[in-house]
């Protein structure tokens, strides 16, 4: 554990909880940043695949299509799970 062992008091039953929770928070933070780095690398590869001609408009079009595909996928999944989401579906 990365916490200061001097903070552990064997007479206080809850001092170990503090050390454990601090370590869990540290592990969670590290895992979130590792995931962020992975996602960022994937995004950069996708952005490099966009043609340079009319770069801004192509990127906007690509982002719009990606957003629509994501929303459609979420709606299909929600319907498959029996969720009542038609009130949110603009195409319904």
- CA–CA gap between residue 10 and residue 83 (Å, rounded): 51
Number of domains the chain is built from: 1
- CA–CA gap between residue 67 and residue 69 (Å, rounded): 5
The reply to whether 47 falls in a domain is yes
Q: What dihedral do alpha carbons 59, 62, 67, 71 form, nearest 10°?
A: 180
The reply to whether 91 falls in a domain is no
The reply to whether 10 falls in a domain is yes
pLDDT digits (tens, 9 = 90+) for 62-79: 788 888 888 888 888 888
The reply to whether 11 falls in a domain is yes
pLDDT at residue 65, as a whole number: 84
Nearest to 27 by CA among 48, 2, 45: 2
The reply to whether 68 falls in a domain is yes
The reply to whether 89 falls in a domain is no
The reply to whether 87 falls in a domain is no
pLDDT digits (tens, 9 = 90+) for 35-63: 888 888 888 887 776 666 555 666 677 78
Check: pTM over 0.75? Answer yes or no. Answer: no
The domain in which residue 18 lies consists of 5-82
């Amino acid at each position: 554990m990365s916490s200061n062992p001097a903070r552990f008091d064997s007479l206080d039953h809850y001092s170990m909880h503090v050390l454990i929770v601090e370590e869990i928070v540290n592990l969670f933070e590290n895992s979130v940043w590792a995931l962020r780095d992975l996602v960022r690398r994937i995004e950069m590869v996708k952005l490099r695949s966009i043609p340079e001609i009319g770069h801004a408009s192509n990127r906007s079009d690509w982002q719009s299509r990606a957003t629509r595909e994501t929303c459609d996928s979420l709606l299909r999944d929600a319907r498959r799970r029996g969720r009542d989401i038609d009130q949110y579906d603009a195409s319904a």
